């Protein structure tokens, strides 16, 4: 009886010590969520001070573990749409963009249901469907594509052994050269924080 009790106790302790949503080499995480892009910069250009509004869109992440707790993640999303505002004038353009981001990530060992992680990588932002509005209605507006660094941190809260609820945040370096009517008016810094919540599945 004592032997059985000892074995049962050992099994319970081993189970309690197992890391939440433990990731091993070869595992894949798929996340489905919602992301809010919040630009942080105002930029002085030849046309005046420009700022860009935030936007909410569905997001998808896929992460492959190249080693235990170390993964390579790709972020994708439905196209974000932003209003571009000129100080003293108001909304002067609308633009869509796709921000695929590739990151190398480390997931910490944790004995609770919460597993934190950090990552860093590179972002490519593709701008399209730029339309002049308001004072620039009918005027051609162009934003160059952008390459920049991206930082990432978040927490996974274990729901089951194969799923988790995730909250995470990224800081992305996005800078783009802007042309209005074919004239280069300067560089616009967007540098957004991206706040995301997601349901994550392990395969």
Residue 9 neighbours by CB under 8 Å, 6+ apart = none
d(CA 96, CA 28): 30
Three-state SS across 12-23? HHHHHHCCCCCC
CATH number at residue 69: 2.40.160.20
Name the pTM for this structure.
0.80
What string of pLDDT tens digits covers the 203 residues of the chain?
A: 444 444 444 444 444 444 456 788 889 999 999 999 998 867 777 767 778 888 999 999 999 999 999 999 999 999 999 888 888 777 778 889 999 999 999 999 877 899 999 999 999 999 998 888 887 787 888 889 999 999 999 999 999 989 999 999 999 999 888 888 888 888 888 889 999 999 999 99
Residue 97 backbone phi and psi in degrees, to 5: -150, 155
CA angle 158, 162, 164 (to 5 degrees): 30
CA dihedral 115, 120, 122, 124 (to 10 degrees): 40
- Number of domains, the chain: 1
Q: Terminus-to-terminus CA distance in the chain, angstroms?
A: 39
Domain of residue 117: give its range. Answer: 2-202
């Amino acid at each position: 009886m004592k032997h059985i009790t000892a074995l049962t106790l050992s099994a319970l302790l081993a189970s309690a010590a197992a890391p939440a949503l433990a990731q091993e080499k070869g595992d894949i995480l798929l996340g489905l969520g919602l992301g809010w892009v919040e630009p942080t910069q105002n930029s002085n250009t030849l046309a005046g001070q420009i700022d860009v509004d935030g936007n909410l869109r569905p997001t998808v992440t896929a992460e492959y573990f190249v080693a235990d707790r170390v993964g390579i993640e790709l972020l994708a999303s439905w196209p974000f749409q932003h209003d571009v505002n000129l100080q003293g004038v108001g909304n002067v353009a609308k633009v869509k963009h796709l921000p695929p981001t590739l990151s190398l990530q480390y997931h910490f060992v944790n004995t609770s249901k919460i597993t934190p992680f950090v990552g860093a990588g590179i972002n490519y932002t593709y701008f399209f469907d730029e339309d002049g509005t308001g004072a620039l209605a009918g005027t051609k507006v162009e934003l160059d594509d952008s390459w920049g660094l991206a930082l990432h941190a978040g927490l996974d809260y274990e729901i089951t052994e194969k799923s988790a609820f995730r909250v995470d945040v990224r800081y992305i370096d996005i800078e783009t050269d802007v042309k209005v009517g074919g004239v280069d008016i300067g560089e616009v810094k967007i540098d957004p924080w991206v706040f995301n919540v997601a349901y994550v599945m392990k395969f």
